Amino acid sequence: MSRIPVSLDPFLPRALNQRWEGALGADELPRVHAAALEGGPLLVRLTLRIVRGALGETRIQGTIDGEIGQQCQRCLQPMLWKCSLRPDVVVVAPGGTPPEVGDDQDVLELGADGQLRPAEFVEDEILLALPLAPRHESCGTGLPREFEAGPAGRAADSPFAILGKLKDRH
Ligand SMILES: [Zn+2]
């Protein structure tokens, strides 16, 4: 298990069957930060690995577990949106053609430099999953506030501190 690189070439033989693990926060995820409630929590834990699929295709598989501050669109109070995503995406070289994997398969075509940027990948996955109108699951039933939105820029636990706690458990 290695730390998440800033970028990697998923087609390099040495990338195959590698597994990366890390945590990302607002600084690494500026587009998610822009979509999050100002001053609220933003922490994403992720694992990524590159595998070879049954048709010889290269796949990025991973886990994205995030907690992101949002505003409930019913009561307008802060709420914590939790996501637990399990992306499984066929990756295609720049200008390449995807293998015949079916129309329902997610395909990611890399940019011209052929590099996968895990933070951007995670942002895309989260922004696709983010609800347009987030709501408390049991809004209006007198639940306590899930967190207090602090002044802008106040960081919650840093991702590295939380990663350290996770590591201590092993
Ligand atoms: Zn609510």
Residues, CB within 5 angstroms of ligand 1 (ion): 72, 74-75, 136, 139
pLDDT in tens, 102-143: 778 899 999 999 999 999 999 999 999 999 999 998 887 665
pLDDT of residue 164: 55
Residue tagged 């109108």 (tokens): 133
Of 23, 22, 40, 28, the C-alpha closest to 134 is 40
How far apart CA 158 and CA 98 sit, in angstroms, is: 38
What does the DSSP 8-state code read for residue 14? Answer: G
28 torsion bin: left (phi>0), alpha (psi -120 to 50), beta (else)? alpha
Contact between 121 and 60 (Cβ < 8 Å): yes
Distance 147 CA to ligand 1 centre (A): 12
Mean pLDDT, residues 130-159 taken together: 70
pLDDT in tens, 44-100: 999 999 999 988 899 999 999 999 999 999 999 999 999 999 999 999 998 887 777
pLDDT of residue 19: 93
Distance 70 CA to ligand 1 centre (A): 10
pLDDT band for 144, please (50, 70, 90 cuts): low
Distance 155 CA to ligand 1 centre (A): 23
Distance 26 CA to ligand 1 centre (A): 24
- Averaged pLDDT score across all residues of the chain: 86
Of 5, 95, 110, the C-alpha closest to 58 is 110
Distance 45 CA to ligand 1 centre (A): 25
pTM beyond 0.75, yes or no: yes
Distance 133 CA to ligand 1 centre (A): 11
Mean pLDDT, residues 16-33 taken together: 95
Distance 19 CA to ligand 1 centre (A): 38
Contact between 6 and 117 (Cβ < 8 Å): yes
How far apart CA 39 and CA 151 sit, in angstroms, is: 6
Of 62, 2, 18, 53, the C-alpha closest to 10 is 18
